[in-house]
Chain A
Amino acid sequence: MSAQPVIDVQQLNVWFGKHHVLHDVDFRVMPGEIRVIMGGSGSGKSTLLRHLLGLLRPRSGMVSILGTNIAKASTAETLRLRRQMGVSFQGGALFTSMTVGENVALPLREHTTLDENTMRIMSRIKLEVVNLGGFQDLMPSQLSGGMVKRAALARAIVMDPKLLFFDEPSAGLDPVVSAELDELILQLRDAMRMSIVVVTHELESAFKIADTITVLDRGVVLLTGSVAEVRASSNERIQDLLNRRPRKIEVDTDEYLRRLTEVDAD
């Protein structure tokens, strides 16, 4: 059981038009692991996440979540899979027409036959878990940035998922709030035995929460390893990322001239 990875991605290649966004990506997450996907903007980490969530279907390569091949899954299988996954989006993606409590209760309402009272209690328990007890009647627009992320987290864990995805937990938050969120992620793993995938470009938070880190750069997996391994890596690009050095951009003269002079396709 424990030998089965919860996420298994093999040889994933993604093209957006002419741009090769992901090159032969292999990515494996074991149960109970906190994996951080790290990389600068444009590294392909969001694209990888969208494939892991099943929002994009792989054209080439294989994406398997909890033992189910996303590309071959039937509608019913996909639905079963999604009940076991929780996702907290970068901007929270709370439904603005519903209160915080209704947002958190929505997965229960759609997927279970629990009565109103039980759903209310369960969603309030999850709000307590993320330290938002008593805020269930507010609208999302009345919450601060950190509270939106925590409410989104409460909604993501309300079905007690086996697998939790967290997109940029610390983006746009002050250091204290983002440290609190990191603490929360660690607690969730210990309390609920979830496997957690966090996408971030914040080094500090990544080193604090990660069991293992996958470093993506321009669509290539540079390294997957423990925090110590990443820190000790001799790879120049990883060191650039760790030390906040601007990358050295090598100019290929022919390629440069071709880009300047080529005629647009449309």
Chain B
Amino acid sequence: MAFEAIIKPINRLGRGSVAAIAEIGYAGAILFESLYFAAVGWRRGQPVRFSAVFEQMRQVGIDAIPIVLLLSFTVGLMLGIQFMSALGEFGAQSQVVVAVAKSVTREFAALITGILIAGRSGSAFAARIGSMNVSQEVDALAVIGIDPVRYLAAPSLVAMLVMLPTLTVLSNVMAILGAALYCSPLLDISPLVYVIQTLNALELRDVFEGLSKSVVFALIITLVGVSTGFGVSGGAEGVGRATTRAVVLSITMLVVSDMVFSFFLNR
């Protein structure tokens, strides 16, 4: 009996690890196949269509612009408020410009945009592919001779790799504008001067740090969403579970990978 009490958790841990590794391998295969089809698919009779990529770009990118702008502006404003009050205690209010500029470009713009798109598009990938899986549409694609990864995953991946960094740039601009509007009167400068000071404070590597993160976030969101969708079983309930899982898992991975990135890039 005692033996079994020891064996059981180990057993469960083993199975869990195998499942996790299998899932990482599956996501890796989807990544590899998507890139393969995007690069040479047209020569193998499996082209990744521009029209499909543009449609995905519209869905994950263009349609998300208003909400990204709104959220980024609000976060910028909030950072302005916090830094003004925190740095004000040391009489270092003039440093607010630098603090906002660096924290937005390196961290917040990419993270906020990533979390937003994970909730918006990661769940949509999982739900769309999951429900197609349940209604045998994925099988139908395969027997028609259309590789499901090429048709369903590759356009999303390409679109995300382009649009998430683009949205992150927009988010940078809006967040800094938000901070500028709140801080410039308190600092006795015009918003334009605030922006110029921000541009002077920023280095190229600050922006690149944020953008490189957003590329990784795009990979995480797409691969988690798509692989969860392809793994759906168990009807409508399964689709619902997959959607929730895709969002929770991708946001978790996003935040953890962000932390790892920040650690290595700022040593």
Type the 1/0 row for A130-156, where 1 means its CB is closer than 8 Å to any CB of B: 000000000000000000000000010
Q: Does A55 sit within 8 A of B, measured CB to CB? A: yes
**Size of B's binding interface in residues, CB under 8 A:** 15
Additional pairs, 14, CB under 8 Å, beyond known A79-B145, A83-B145 = A53-B142, A55-B142, A79-B46, A82-B142, A82-B145, A87-B144, A89-B140, A93-B137, A107-B144, A107-B145, A110-B144, A110-B146, A111-B45, A266-B15
Chain B residues whose C-beta falls within 8 Å of the C-beta of A90 in the assembled complex: 136
Type the 1/0 row for A71-93, where 1 means its CB is closer than 8 Å to any CB of B: 00001101100110101011101
Q: Does A5 sit within 8 A of B, measured CB to CB? A: no
Shortest Cβ gap from A50 to chain B (Å): 8
Q: Does A106 sit within 8 A of B, measured CB to CB? A: yes
Interface positions of A (Cβ within 8 A of B): 53-55, 75-76, 78-79, 82-83, 85, 87, 89-91, 93-96, 106-107, 110-111, 155, 266
The A interface is mostly helix, strand or loop, or mixed, namely mixed
For the complex, give the distance between the alpha carbons of A96 and B129 in Å.
12
For the complex, give the distance between the alpha carbons of A90 and B135 in Å.
9
**A54 contact from B15, B143, B146, Cβ within 8 A:** B143
For the complex, give the distance between the alpha carbons of A226 and B139 in Å.
31
Let me know if B44 and A75 touch, CB within 8 A.
Answer: yes
For the complex, give the distance between the alpha carbons of A142 and B220 in Å.
36
Chain A residues whose C-beta falls within 8 Å of the C-beta of B139 in the assembled complex: 53, 55, 89, 93
Chain B residues whose C-beta falls within 8 Å of the C-beta of A89 in the assembled complex: 136, 139-140
Chain A residues whose C-beta falls within 8 Å of the C-beta of B145 in the assembled complex: 78-79, 82-83, 107, 110-111
Shortest Cβ gap from A7 to chain B (Å): 14
Type the 1/0 row for B34-63, where 1 means its CB is closer than 8 Å to any CB of A: 000000000011100000000000000000
Let me know if A95 and B137 touch, CB within 8 A.
Answer: yes
Q: 24 interchain pairs (CB within 8 A)?
A: A53-B143, A54-B143, A55-B139, A55-B142, A76-B45, A79-B45, A79-B46, A79-B145, A82-B142, A83-B145, A85-B143, A87-B144, A89-B139, A89-B140, A90-B136, A91-B136, A93-B136, A93-B137, A93-B139, A95-B132, A96-B137, A107-B145, A111-B45, A266-B15
Top 7 A-B pairs ranked by shortest CB distance?
A82-B145, A93-B140, A93-B136, A87-B143, A89-B136, A93-B137, A107-B144
Shortest Cβ gap from B12 to chain A (Å): 8
Chain B residues whose C-beta falls within 8 Å of the C-beta of A96 in the assembled complex: 135, 137
Q: How many A-B residue pairs have CB under 8 A?
A: 54
Let me know if B146 and A76 touch, CB within 8 A.
Answer: no
Type the 1/0 row for B108-145, where 1 means its CB is closer than 8 Å to any CB of A: 00000000000000000000000010011101101111
Shortest Cβ gap from A31 to chain B (Å): 20
CB contact under 8 A between A87 and B44, given known A79-B145, A107-B145? no
Let me know if B137 and A106 touch, CB within 8 A.
Answer: no
Chain A residues whose C-beta falls within 8 Å of the C-beta of B140 in the assembled complex: 87, 89, 93-95
Chain A residues whose C-beta falls within 8 Å of the C-beta of B135 in the assembled complex: 91, 93, 96
A76 nearest CB neighbor, chain B only? B44
Shortest Cβ gap from A257 to chain B (Å): 22
B151 nearest CB neighbor, chain A only? A110
**A82 contact from B44, B136, B137, B143, Cβ within 8 A:** B143
**A55 contact from B44, B132, B143, Cβ within 8 A:** B143
B47 nearest CB neighbor, chain A only? A110
Chain B residues whose C-beta falls within 8 Å of the C-beta of A155 in the assembled complex: 144
For the complex, give the distance between the alpha carbons of A75 and B136 in Å.
21
Let me know if B144 and A82 touch, CB within 8 A.
Answer: yes
A78 nearest CB neighbor, chain B only? B145
Chain A residues whose C-beta falls within 8 Å of the C-beta of B142 in the assembled complex: 53-55, 82
